Chain A
Amino acid sequence: MKPIAVVSLLAVAPLWATSFKDAVIGSQHDLTPSGSGPVKSAETRVCIFCHAPHNVIPNVTPLWDHSLSSVTYTTYTSSTYSSGLQTPGAGSSRLCLSCHDGTVAVGLTVVLGQLATTGAMSSADVFGSSLLSSHPVSMTPADDGQLATSLFASQPSTKDPAVTLVAGKVECTTCHDPHVQNNDPATPMFLVRSNASGALCLACHDPTRAQPNQLNGWTTGAHATAINTAPTTAPFGRYGNVAANGCSNCHNAHNNAAAARNLDAPEEAACTPCHGGANLNPSLLNIAGEYSKAYSHPTMTVSGVHDPAEGLPVNNARHAECADCHNSHAAYAQTGTPAPPAAQAELAGVSGWDTAGAQPVAANEYQLCYKCHADSTNKPATSTYGRTAIRYPGGPMPAGYPIQPPRPADQYNLRLKFMSTIGHNVMGSSTITTGNSSLRPYMLNVDGTNNTNRPLATSTILYCTDCHNNDQARSSNGTGPNGPHGSAYPHLLQLNLFQDAIGGGGGGGGTTATALCNKCHNVATVRNESPHDEHDGVGCTTCHDPHGVIGGNAGANRAMMNFDTSIAAKATTNFGYFYMGTGSGQKGCYTNCHGENHNPRTY
């Protein structure tokens, strides 16, 4: 009889969510002998543990009769929380907390006194006085650009009629219906509706709002669409696959190890359960494992520094958490060929840094890198990531020779390097004056085959990750994940570029000194041309400044000539390269290198 009535009532589509209160019978909130929870009583009247028909004191709706708690709660906070003061001790959430803060004996009613109970609530259901690790309650949402605009209407509401506000506030009952345990069979937590695919969360958290909304892109993002199966135990969601888990892949409304933003775990620990090569089926490439390579970004080694609200660029507290480069809501699976310099699919929706300052959403990949590798004031010039070249100062040069650029204030500011007309074409700033006979038709893959997704011409724009990448990036026919998480080679380069100072232990030489450049430039051909033929075994970067020459000019710095002064020294009085014409003798070097004084040496 009852099920028929339920169906017929559902069919009339209520304008607001209304729970079927008899569903409490047999649930974990049924404290009578018929209940299924850990707390039991001999009392057989289900309703009276919480409600009394007459004379409830204090007069709290809905005829609330369980003794209230007097606890002062520590409420949720985070650097990105901008909604109002939380008052769980005053809002309707205090009704739930009269049991779930654990300070009032379950069954302690006002009208009937203590109804004797046995058993105890699961510790996961007892929050104590700290609500830090729970979603905020008794809170009036404020517009942070990521929440549904209907929350801020004159009659506030969520986007889902099943998810209701209480007097405009988010209370426990916004997400929970204390009378119905199994609206979401996978999450029998008295949810007001199923949270499969994050549907409950999405009633308020709105990906349809425009960027820089961090949630923008969620609907088509990898985490909302991937069908890889996942375990149904913590820290994974309960729905069996990534798409169905939705928000619960990474977030949990209660009992979070990482309280801020309700993440299951802090920083990379939220990502590694899936991105460590295990647990999912089909499994994902092991990004966590990349960090055990010889060179890696300091994702695993720096903790507690990253903050989504941090200012840019990153200065003193250098760090590189997953979220610095990836927006888990917006990242999606790449299809088609890359279109540099546009940020690739997995980098969608992340902040960046550029000449104009902080970019709420980086359009181009280099803007991500610039957050730390451009105008930051504390870039390390150490050997942690491989030897760092020192390029300046060049000059002086004899009168009439091309002028060497002065030492820039910051020779490691990659933004300024790539904005130079003399530089690799990352930002489209390069001035290409002649063809480049060394250029291959396609970039090479790590296995030496042509990467037909990446044809080369003098106008081709490069990604930072064309050079700085996993030595086994799958985008280059490798077996590992893309991106500069870790690499076997210094400076997180995809291929080796042996840079030790000559005589400094390695001696350079051979293919290891040129392997990276050989990805685009046919080194076998270049090597036979003057003056390269006389310098076989010297690393390319000894003479060429691989990012670009700040303030460089076509005469002094053609082909990005800018000596590494820790290898090449000043000649007798002059120091620098010059190019004054194509003819023999019109180009050459003033430098003292490998024991030989070029003063000048022309070709």
Chain B
Amino acid sequence: MKLKLATLAALVGMVTVPMHGAAPNLPKTGLAGSTHDIGANGCKSCHAPHNGSVANGGAQSTGLILLWARSFPAASNTFGVYDSATMQNKAVELGGSSLTTSADVRMYSLLCLSCHDGVTSTFSPAMQTKNMVGSKAAFGAGAFESLGLTNDHPVNMNYDPTKNTSLQSVATVGAALPLFGSSSTVQCATCHDPHNDVNTNYLRQPNNTAHCTTCHL
């Protein structure tokens, strides 16, 4: 495991966002042939060794962050926030400002949305609409997309069992799934590992009840 973490760190240059616990990063060997192996480009599907998205015809210098090869969602884009009458542990709007540093925990969601908002990526292959979680600002028509992240499990949310006693402890969750940043935020990458599809849907854990109960006591 240590070896793999070291490998990851070597690949992306640096990882400055602290993660809680020793959440596993699945080996990237599950990438080849998956839907994230876009056009059989492998790592290049998302990463560029130099100059970020500009090297791929994009307009942004995104390479500072995980050598990201795609454009980020526009800074002005907002995605909406899941909320409910009983929810105490509120999520925070993911969009609305530029991603400029890998110390920003939003990275672990916004990078995903550079394709999965359904509008940003300029060389995205055909994506099923059900996989477009969307941008409220950019969409108006599509049934899924227009709702942005309001109809998706909340992300960019501090994981705080003191606000919801039916949540497992940070330590328990952190041992199985990564929570990002000093306030233990839930991001897309908490549940999903984009490099490995062995569990389907790029889930870090098998797609079963236990995955949900990792957090939901």
Q: CB of B83 within 8 A of chain A? A: yes
Given contacts A61-B83, A62-B86, A63-B153, contact A22 B216 (CB under 8 A): yes
Chain B residues with CB under 8 Å of A14's CB are: 165
Choose, from B13-21, B28-36, B70-78, B204-212, the stretch at the interface: B204-212
Within 8 A of A (CB), among B106-151: 130, 133, 143-144, 147, 150-151
Complex Cα distance, B85 from A16, in Å, reads 13
Q: Is the CB of A20 within 8 A of B152?
A: no
- Chain A interface residue count: which class? 20 to 34
Residue of B at shortest CB range from A10?
B165
Residues of A within 8 A of B98 (CB): none
Residues A61 and B166 in contact, CB atoms below 8 Å apart: no
- Tell me the chain A residues, 27-72 only, with Cβ under 8 Å from chain B: 32, 44-47, 53-57, 59, 61-63
B151 and A63: CB pair below 8 A? yes
Question: Out of A16, A22, A53, which one reaches B153, CB within 8 Å?
Answer: A53
Alpha-carbon separation in the docked complex, A111 to B88 (Å): 26
Asked whether, in the complex, the Cβ of A20 is within 8 Å of the Cβ of B166, the reply is: yes
- Are A53's CB and B217's CB within 8 A? no
- Given known pairs A54-B133, A55-B152, A63-B151, the reply for A5 and B217 (CB within 8 Å) is yes
Tell me if B182 is interfacial: C-beta within 8 Å of chain A: no
With A21-B217, A57-B143 known to touch, is A12 a contact of B209 (CB < 8 Å)?
no
Q: Are A44 and B208 in contact (CB under 8 A)?
A: yes
Please give, as numbers and ranges, the residues of chain A lying within 8 Å of B207 by CB-CB distance: 45
Asked if residues A18 and B165 are in contact (CB atoms below 8 Å), the reply is yes
**Could you tell me the dominant secondary structure of chain B's interface residues?**
loop
A44 and B85 alpha carbons, distance in the complex (Å)? 29
**Cross-chain contact of B217 among A12, A16, A22, A46 (Cβ < 8 A):** A22
A 528-556 binary contact with B (CB < 8 Å = 1; else 0)? 00000000000000000000000000000
Q: Which residues of A contact B130 (CB under 8 A)?
A: 54-55, 111
Q: With a CB–CB cut-off of 8 A, which chain B residues contact A2?
A: 217
The yes or no answer to A302 lying at the interface (CB within 8 A) is: no
Cβ < 8 Å to A, chain B residues 27-64: none
Q: Are A16 and B88 in contact (CB under 8 A)?
A: yes
Would you give the shortest CB distance from A108 to chain B, in whole angstroms? 17
Q: When chains A and B are docked, how far (Å) is the Cα of A121 from the Cα of B104?
A: 49
Find B213's partner among A16, A18, A22, A63 (CB 8 Å cutoff).
A22
Q: Tell me if B133 and A18 are in contact (CB < 8 A).
A: no
Q: Residues of B within 8 Å of A, CB-based: how many?
A: 31
> When A55-B152, A63-B151 are in contact, do A19 and B166 touch as well, CB less than 8 Å?
yes
Of B161, B169, B217, most buried by chain A (CB within 10 Å of CB) is B217
Question: Is there an interface contact between B209 and A47, defined as CB atoms closer than 8 Å?
Answer: yes
- Within 8 Å by CB of B84, from A5, A9, A62, lies A62
Q: Chain A's nearest CB lies how many Å from the CB of B145?
A: 9
**Nearest CB in chain B: distance from A8 CB, A:** 9
Contact yes or no, B172 A5, CB < 8 A: yes
In the bound assembly, the distance between CA atoms of A164 and B84 in angstroms comes to 14
Most A C-beta atoms less than 10 A away, residue of B83, B133, B153, B191: B153
Give every chain A residue within 8 A of B133 (Cβ-Cβ): 54-55
Chain B residues within an 8 Å CB radius of A45: 207-209, 212
**Bitwise interface map of B from 156 to 168 toward A, beta carbon under 8 Å scored 1, else 0:** 0000010011101
Instruction: Tell yes or no: A258 within 8 A of B by CB.
Output: no
Among the listed A19, A22, A55, which residue makes an inter-chain contact with B151, where contact means beta carbons less than 8 Å apart?
A55
Task: Tell me which residues across on chain A come within 8 A of B213, comparing CB atoms.
Answer: 21-22, 25
* Distance (whole angstroms) from the CB of B156 to the closest CB of chain A: 15
Residues 234-262 of A, flagged 1 when their CB comes within 8 A of B and 0 if not, give 00000000000000000000000000000
The CA of A166 and the CA of B133, in the complex, are separated in Å by 28
Q: Which residues of A contact B144 (CB under 8 A)?
A: 55, 57
Say if the beta carbon of A90 comes within 8 Å of chain B: no
In the complex, which residues of chain B have a beta carbon less than 8 angstroms from the beta carbon of A46?
209, 212
Pick the contact of A56: B87, B88, B151, B208 (CB < 8 A): B151
CB distance from B133 to the nearest CB of A (A): 6
Q: Is A92 an interface residue (CB 8 A)?
A: yes
A16-B217 Cα distance, complex, nearest whole Å: 16
A46 to B210 alpha-carbon distance, docked (Å): 9
Query: Which chain B residues lie closer than 8 Å to A53 at the CB level?
Result: 152-153, 191
Which A-chain residue is minimally distant from B152 (CB atoms)?
A: A54
B209 touches A32 (CB 8 A): yes
B79 interfacial contact with A, CB 8 Å:
no
Is A25 a contact of B166 with CB atoms below 8 Å?
no
Q: Which residue of chain B has its CB nearest to the CB of A53?
A: B153
User: CB-CB < 8 A to B161: which residues of A?
Assistant: 9
* Contact of A54 with B153 at beta-carbon distance under 8 Å, contacts A19-B166, A21-B216 already known: yes
Q: Is B82's CB within 8 Å of the partner chain A?
A: yes
Contacts of B153 in A (CB 8 A): 53-54, 63
- With A22-B217, A54-B152 given, is the CB distance from A61 to B84 under 8 Å? yes
Chain B residues lying within 8 Å of A32, measured Cβ to Cβ, are 209
Shortest beta-carbon contacts, A-B, top 7: A61-B84, A59-B151, A14-B165, A18-B166, A46-B209, A21-B216, A22-B213
**17 interchain pairs, CB-CB under 8 A:** A5-B168, A18-B166, A21-B166, A45-B207, A46-B212, A47-B216, A53-B153, A54-B151, A55-B144, A55-B147, A57-B143, A57-B151, A63-B82, A63-B153, A92-B85, A111-B130, A164-B86
Contacts A20-B217, A47-B209, A53-B153 supplied; 15 other A-B pairs, CB < 8 Å: A2-B217, A9-B161, A14-B165, A18-B165, A21-B166, A45-B208, A55-B133, A55-B152, A57-B143, A61-B84, A61-B86, A62-B87, A63-B82, A63-B152, A166-B86
